[in-house]
Amino acid sequence: MTISLYHRLKTVSRGIGVRQVRLICGLILFSYLLSHFLNHALGNVSLQALAIGVAYHLAFWQFLPVAIVFYAAALTHGGLGVWALYQRRQFSRSTLEPLQLILGLSIPALIFSHIAGVRLGHTLYGHDKLYPQVLYSYWAGPSWRVWLMSAALLTSWSHGCIGLHFWLRLKPFYQRAAPWLLACAVLIPALALLGFYRGGRDIISASATTQWRAENLSPKQTGTASEQATLETIMNGFLIGYLGLIGAVLAARGLRALHERRGGMVTLSYNNGRIIRVPKGLSVLEASHRNNVPHASTCGGRARCSTCRIRVIGDPSGLPAPSPREAFVLAQVGANDPSIRLACQLRPTDDLSFFQLFMPNLTPGEPGSQRAAIGQERYLVSLFVDMRGSTSLAEKRLPFDVVFIVNRFLGAVSQAVLSNGGQPNQFVGDGMLALFGLGVDPHVACRQAVQAAHDIAVNIAELNAVLSHDLHDPIRFGIGIHGGEVIVGEVGYRDHMVFTALGDAVNVASRLQDMTKTLGCQVIISDDVYERAGRASGLLPQQEVEIRGRAEPMRVRTAADAADLVSQSPTDEGAAA
Ligand code: FES
């Protein structure tokens, strides 16, 4: 268990890159924003509700460990935003990406006066500013302050929502959840702004009494004139420094472009004959976007989907080494060949010729084309089944006879898959890939796949009995089962698009199926699927196997006869009990 946890942590840590860090920090900041917005929304109820809400909000976010994580996330996220401004040479054609960056970079400039007034004043002088003091300063002061705060609220919220959209859009539930999420994305800031307004109006009315002013606007709470002046100086200094930093980054971009132009250009040759010349330093995907060359990139260049991958023609040894994140994604899809690279990560320093391994989505305007469905990331269980000995069968029989037997075999397999809720997905010669989990949760998918493996054995045994007079040897087969996050979508070309799943889990299932030959068993199930299926009692023998393309060994369960799987069924065990 400890070793397995260690392996999992190691695998997960290899998959963490800059984007993953930015996402985690962004999620922390968005949680803060959500809590703050819900607090503002309480202004629609009463000033007392606002005060109670802020007490809970502060108790959580100012709890020391939480505060440390929060400030670290804010600094890291902000730093990575500035780095992205320097590093991104080209944005995908979506306008959301540059918009997200501009909104993100505007946030520090918009909120620093608020931070200086509330947090810095507290840290330096012990000011005690809560809603009454803050709302009074906005609504009794010059109107630009209200507009500035409203802009800060909307900018941060929009930036966060775009980030969440980029993160979630590949998730299977997203399409169903999108209308609800959109409703929340509109309602929450609307209620927060309304609460900010209502709270402000209530404070202005309350401030008409001298008693309220004496209780809420004392120098201890809001600071003396000289303290305010010092805070303003700090705020101005920060603004100048921040704008200077952005200016310096833009200047650095210009210098880099100049340097790259002087440093030379590289020629990129695509498999369709297209040749482009771009400055060194661009990624292949950025070069494609800059030159309007269609290039598949389901995750938008975030090193998550692998659909941008290319096969380099010629010697790949001169290419820049893959980053840990690129190496991780390539290993996940079983791409061990050094000539296969992610176009969104590879920045060629020399001329390059390559094949795009996936066709980009075709636009509806293209003659004879159909828009390919965008891929979705989801957990699926892949079951590979392959008939054994079909080559020798073909040698001994007439071709029609072989086709008849293979079809009976595939029919028996498909029937078992379908009756257990799976989908026969690809037929390759005498083998088949079946997918489970397109409409059910992972645990059900795992149970269905294991039960289907059992039913395949039963169906083939019946088929062997029916064909016994006709076959010298009974039909034999091997099954490999593994589950994991894969990309599902349509691949192919024009009228030849097919729905399928791509990803490491599919490749591993295929390799497990192959391995049944060397291990002399009929079924190999990854331990993960076996456990999720509710068969963690250890009734099937367990062992570790090396999988080509994976750094770590994998724990699997093997069964000499797939029909034995039935005795492991929890239903049966339950019935027996
Ligand atoms: S575009 Fe998704 S991995 Fe490159």
Give the nearest ligand 1 atom to 303 CA. Answer: 3
Could you tell which of 92, 283, 297, 341 is best to mutate to test the pocket of ligand 1, judged by most ligand atoms within 8 Å of the CB? 297
Q: Does residue 418 share a domain with residue 315?
A: no
Is there a contact between 545 and 526 (Cβ–Cβ < 8 Å)?
no
The CA 323 to ligand 1 mean position distance, Å, reads 13
Q: Which residues is 70 bridged to in the sheet? A: none
The CA 549 to ligand 1 mean position distance, Å, reads 19
The residue among 346, 224, 215, 351 whose CA lies nearest residue 285 is 346
SS3 for 307-341 is CCCEEEECCHHHCCCCCHHHHHHHHHCCCCCCCEE
Q: Does residue 565 share a domain with residue 426?
A: yes
Is there a contact between 533 and 443 (Cβ–Cβ < 8 Å)?
yes
**Which pLDDT score is estimated for 227?**
92
Q: Which residue range forms the structural domain that includes residue 289?
A: 265-356
Could you tell which of 170, 289, 306 is best to mutate to test the pocket of ligand 1, judged by most ligand atoms within 8 Å of the CB? 306
Residue 2 is assigned to a structural domain of this protein: no
Q: Does residue 219 share a domain with residue 305?
A: no
CATH number of the CATH domain containing 524: 3.30.70.1230
User: Using CA atoms, how far apart are residues 545 and 542, in angstroms rounded to an integer?
Assistant: 10
DSSP 3-state assignment of 134? Answer: helix
Residue list, ligand 1 pocket, CB within 6 Å: 297-299, 301-308, 329, 342, 344
Q: Does residue 273 share a domain with residue 249?
A: no
**Which pLDDT score is estimated for 363?**
39
Q: Does residue 287 share a domain with residue 242?
A: no
What is the DSSP code (8-state) at residue 384? E
Is there a contact between 240 and 248 (Cβ–Cβ < 8 Å)?
no
User: Using CA atoms, how far apart are residues 296 and 308, in angstroms rounded to an integer?
Assistant: 5
Could you tell which of 19, 308, 341, 487 is best to mutate to test the pocket of ligand 1, judged by most ligand atoms within 8 Å of the CB? 308
Give the count of domains, the chain. Answer: 3
**Which pLDDT score is estimated for 282?**
87
**Which pLDDT score is estimated for 23?**
92
The CA 139 to ligand 1 mean position distance, Å, reads 47
Q: Does residue 525 share a domain with residue 396?
A: yes
**Which residues, 6+ apart, have CB-to-CB distance to 228 below 8 Å?**
222
The CA 285 to ligand 1 mean position distance, Å, reads 9
Q: How far is CA 412 from the centre of its chain?
A: 37
Give the nearest ligand 1 atom to 309 CA. Answer: 4
Q: Does residue 419 share a domain with residue 510?
A: yes
Q: Does residue 485 share a domain with residue 383?
A: yes
pLDDT along the chain (577 residues), means of 10: 57 67 95 96 95 95 95 95 86 75 94 88 90 94 92 96 88 83 96 96 93 91 90 92 96 87 85 84 89 82 83 88 87 78 92 82 40 64 89 68 84 91 85 88 91 93 85 88 84 67 86 91 92 73 82 86 66 38
Q: Which residues is 265 bridged to in the sheet? A: 279
Give the nearest ligand 1 atom to 300 CA. Answer: 1
Residue 152 is assigned to a structural domain of this protein: yes
**Which pLDDT score is estimated for 368?**
36
